[in-house]
A and B are shown apart, each in its own frame.
Chain A
Amino acid sequence: MIADLPLWLSILVSAFVVLGALLTMAGCFGLVRLKSFYLRIHGPTMGTSMGGGLILLASAIYFTLTRERLVVHELVIFLFVTLTTPVTLMLLARATLFRDRVEGNEGVPKRPEKAETPASP
């Protein structure tokens, strides 16, 4: 069962949770509402950055208070999410870019001309 916290703290935790969820939800709705893939790619990062951050922060506060010790687990999760999300996004964006270029789709920057061979591997 949820532990009893001081009122202001529970309001704080609640606010963080709700705001974080709202941001995350907004990001997800972005997936639905935005028209192109390049726009949609920005949606999920709301959940991985501030949305997630707020919920994790709420959790850290909550458990630190109820367990009466410093709980910083959530930091690890935040770090992992922050590090890993860009990997997928970059790969996906790059793959999409490539597909669009090959298919000759509109509104995509052209492939840069290869000026010289890369310096060193």
Chain B
Amino acid sequence: MPLPSIPTDFALPLLCFLPFLASIFVLAAPGEKIRGAAWVTAVVAAILSLLSLALFPSIANGEVLISRIEWVPQLGLNLTLRLDGLAWLFAVLITCIGFLVVLYARYYMSPKDPIARFHALLLAFMGAMIGLVMSGNIIQLAIFWELTSLVSFLLIGYWYHRGDARDGARMALIITGTGGLALFVSMLVIGHIVGSYELDDVLASGGKIVESPLYPVALILFLLGAFTKSAQFPFQFWLPNAMTAPTPVSAYLHSATMVKAGVFILTRFWPVMHDHQLWFWIVTYTGLATLIFGAYTALFQRDLKGLLAYSTISHLGLITTLLGMGTPLAAVAAIFHIANHATFKASLFMAVGIIDHETGTRDVRKLSGLRKYLPFTATLAIIASAAMAGVPLLNGFLSKEMFFTETAEFDPNVFVNLSLPIGATLAGMLSVAYSIKFVHGVFFGPPPTELEKVPHEPPALMRRPIEILVLICLAVGIIPGITIAPYLAAAVHSVLGAETPYYSLSVWHGFNLPLIMSIIAMVGGAVIYVPYYRKLRDIDGVPLTRGLVGQRVFERILVTATNRWARHLVGAFGTQRLQPQIFVVIFLALAAGIAAGWARMGNLPLPDSFDPVLGLVWLLGGISALAAAQQAKFHRLASMILMGGAGLATCLTFAWFSAPDLALTQLLAEIATTVLILLGLRWLPKRSPVPESTPMAARLRRYRDVALAGLVGLGTALASYAIMTRSASEGISDFFLANAYKEGGGTNVVNVMLVDFRGFDTMGEITVLGVVALTVFGLLRRFRPASDSAERPEQQRVLDEYAPGSSENVADDFLRIPALIMNWMFPVVVVVAIYMLMRGHDLPGGGFIAGIIMSLAFILQYLAGGTRWVEERLRILPLLWIGWGLLLALLTGVGAMVLGAPFLTSAFAYADIPLIGKVPMATALIFDLGVFALVVGATVLMLIALAHQSIRRPKVAGSNKPKQRVGADKWN
């Protein structure tokens, strides 16, 4: 073509990305104007067609155009756009047929359809397909491969208000998507074998792939990709179901382009992968099976699109068979048939679209004698059908003859030698038969009676695409030498390279075996059709393979897998119940600890000291703990009291082993916890001991839990004993002892650690406390007691019964004198709190301890006077305490930053105050003050928020039942 040559780095990206850009443009363009979208698409498709045609001279002589855009170079993944003969042939098919389909769709689509979406998707598909065939990087190939699946999903589901469209789309995506993933892995393996993902390197790798031990894996995955995409047996069933797509989509994707992607990669990788027995057997016979199965099934279709779909499957099987055979001539035939099939099948789909459009049906039973109403369309469809049947002087004949030739001449062994030509002839017969069924059933016979409207010829422009395609069929079929030859040669050469054999495209090769096979097919087809044409028209389902409905199997597996199996598995290997969850966690932790530590536990020396007093303390603590565990179910108060005993033993142990700060904190936390749980106990249901007739399962579970608990106890005891009886490694602790006073300005090393050395931990920790307090507060704000706890407590009700009307007074009397003492304790406890706060840096005490003491002072008043009484007198704003506490801690840290030191860097000095003397002033004390404020705020907030529930007398949850969920089932 006399066009100026276009720079590769512009042309190839343009070819690949213009469709995507146009797609986004169409989608984003405002309005749903049919004209605008269609025009943009048509123009883009035209540009692309011209561009691809114009690129022919550049590749005609076996050159390869490459344009590379770096994407992820370190992983060997680049956008390498590579145009050689094969890619060019496909690019032309994609762009030109795409253009024709767009023209056709202009008239086919109804104005009610969302046209912009249609065109955007069509453009996106075009881009994906071009990207696929031009991929110069095999990972990129897998990417575009999957893109075509995704876009085709959306196109098949275009009329998604129809259930069959949704199902067809989903099935197509799942089948081809699975294949795509397999292909991706195959590409990974091939890349691994070759050492590069660049197609050039792969194609130049010679026998590396077939010789690799990984070849079988790579091949199987590769074929899984190719076969699913090209609807090869047994994955063929998605394609007929994809016919729910609008007919232009069927014409484009499901005849001309996407389904060809499978045979495209078979061709693409043919040079480096075919030379293996595995390839031959799998590919050839999958192809042959598909060829026959498709043709056979097509014969029994009532739906014209179904017929064409199975015909497509059959023809794809033909191409696959050719590629499987592994001879160069067979490869040539395959490439040739790819092009031929695209032209005649696309035109047939469009013709069916017109019939559908004009008659409102595609059912061959309702259609008849249409040649009178649609003479032009009928002529075109008849010619295209003839090409499909392999009638001489049409393109289909040429490639089919080549196919017959190859099957006849291919001679590795007897089985192959017989099965291939017989199968091919049989399939040829069947294809002739279904072609006749199509032509005769639709265009001949009496005028149709069951149509709702009288069909007319469509607008001429709607026929034009078909005319062009049929013209090509004729031109190629009659004068292949001057029409298709150079293009085919370029494509063939790009695949076979030096292996390119001599082949002839002439129409007449003499009277030879292939011709005999053709004649048998022709006559045989007619013989099959003529006597049975009525039966073939009316038959419901396919004889022999009726039960083999892939779709139904697929749907059932999908439904069962997603519903029953998945749910069963999720139930079997997971649980919603808490107890098993905790069991698993603890069991695994124990198992992990034992597995990791048991073998190298080291020696356990006998104890060398025993303190009987501590022994007594732990006799108390241990029995308390065990009894608490035993009582927790029915005697909650007892259990709490016993827990207090264990806590006290813990507290004493801290004191015993030189941890006074811990003992203090433990004691106070213990007290606060007791009050807290008691506050909560009011809202728990009454429990009365039940007779001891536990079911066997529950008892077994209990034994199991006892065993696990015992093992955990043993494990922790052993680990701690082992550590305690060994000398400590030289660690960080000496630093703190050595520097607490010198550098931290305090003698209580633990406190200096808390507010200085590890002050950051403390800051986090008080934040935790604050956060928990906020959560508790928020949760209690909307607390609803259970209905059985909403009343006043039983004790108070009984008292009312016992002494009516006196409850308040009794309570008053009951508490009068103790309350007085408790009120008087308030200032005392506050002073003690201040004392503990001030001394913390040097002696046991500090912000935490003082904070809990302070909050207990408040709680004591609540205990004594009740909520209303206290809040009439004291206004505690716990949230502000929390806020200020955090702020103080934060400011102490930030203060250091302002002075140029890292966050939380402390400073201390001894201030000389007149009359008083030296007073230590450490910034850590301010930090500790923050801790104090926060602890007060958080503890008080939690306790008071809980206490407030008693005076709220809130609404009971569940008093108004939730309404029936409207439409909930539909959504799920």
Contact = CB atoms under 8 A, between A and B. Distances in A.
A and B co-occur in one complex: yes
Interface of A: 80, 83-84, 86-87, 90-91, 94, 98, 101-102, 111, 114, 118, 121
A94 B812 CA distance: 12
B821 A86 contact: yes
12 contacts: A80-B828, A83-B821, A86-B821, A87-B818, A90-B818, A91-B814, A91-B818, A98-B814, A102-B798, A111-B802, A111-B803, A121-B812
Contacts of A111: 802-803
Interface string B320-357: 00000000000000000000000000000000000000
Chain A to chain B: the 5 pairs with minimum beta-carbon distance, closest first: A87-B818, A87-B821, A90-B818, A94-B814, A91-B818
B812 A90 contact: no
A106 to B, nearest CB: 17
Contact of B822 (A87, A101, A114, A121): A87
Interface in B812-869: 812, 814-815, 817-818, 821-822, 825, 828
B775 interface: no
A84 to B, nearest CB: 7
B694 interface: no
B817 A90 contact: yes
A111 B821 CA distance: 25
B809 interface: yes
A118 B816 CA distance: 13
Do most interface residues of chain B lie in helix, strand or loop, or is the interface mixed?
A: helix
A32 to B, nearest CB: 14
Given A84-B821, A86-B818, A98-B814, 4 more contacts: A86-B821, A87-B818, A98-B799, A102-B802
Contacts of A94: 814
A102 to B, nearest CB: 6
A118 to B, nearest CB: 7
Nearest to A97: B814
Nearest to B810: A98
A53 B873 CA distance: 36
A94 B795 CA distance: 13
A101 B809 contact: no
Contacts of B799: 98, 102
Interface in B576-622: none
Contacts, number: 28
A8 B821 CA distance: 40
A102 B799 CA distance: 8
Contacts of B818: 86-87, 90-91
Nearest to B814: A94
Given A98-B799, A102-B798, A118-B809, A83 B825 contact: yes
Nearest to B809: A118
A90 B799 CA distance: 18
Interface of B: 798-799, 802-803, 806, 809, 812, 814-815, 817-818, 821-822, 825, 828
A56 B790 CA distance: 48
B802 A101 contact: yes
Do most interface residues of chain A lie in helix, strand or loop, or is the interface mixed?
A: helix
Contacts of B815: 91
Nearest to A89: B818
Contacts of B821: 83-84, 86-87
A113 to B, nearest CB: 10
A61 to B, nearest CB: 22
Nearest to B829: A80
Nearest to B828: A80
A28 B818 CA distance: 23
Contacts of A114: 803, 806
A96 B920 CA distance: 52
A29 B814 CA distance: 29
Contacts of B802: 101-102, 111
Contacts of B825: 83-84
A92 to B, nearest CB: 10
A80 B815 CA distance: 19
Contacts of A86: 818, 821
Contacts of A98: 799, 814
Nearest to A87: B818
Nearest to B820: A87
A80 to B, nearest CB: 8
Contacts of B806: 114
Nearest to B798: A102
Contacts of A84: 821, 825
Contacts of B812: 121
A84 B828 CA distance: 12
Contacts of A87: 818, 821-822
A87 to B, nearest CB: 4
Nearest to A103: B798
A83 B828 CA distance: 12
A86 B822 CA distance: 11
A21 to B, nearest CB: 11
A97 to B, nearest CB: 10
A87 B815 CA distance: 9
Contacts of A91: 814-815, 818
Nearest to A90: B818
A111 B806 CA distance: 12
A102 B796 CA distance: 12
A79 B825 CA distance: 11
Contacts of A121: 812
Contacts of B809: 118
Contacts of A102: 798-799, 802
Nearest to A76: B832
Nearest to A95: B814
A53 B803 CA distance: 42
Contacts of B822: 87
Contacts of B814: 91, 94, 98
A118 B813 CA distance: 10
Contacts of A118: 809
A83 to B, nearest CB: 6
A24 B853 CA distance: 27
A101 B821 CA distance: 26
A94 B798 CA distance: 15
A71 B89 CA distance: 105
A89 B783 CA distance: 34
B674 to A, nearest CB: 13
Nearest to B819: A87
A68 B411 CA distance: 118
A80 B822 CA distance: 11
Nearest to A111: B803
A89 B817 CA distance: 12
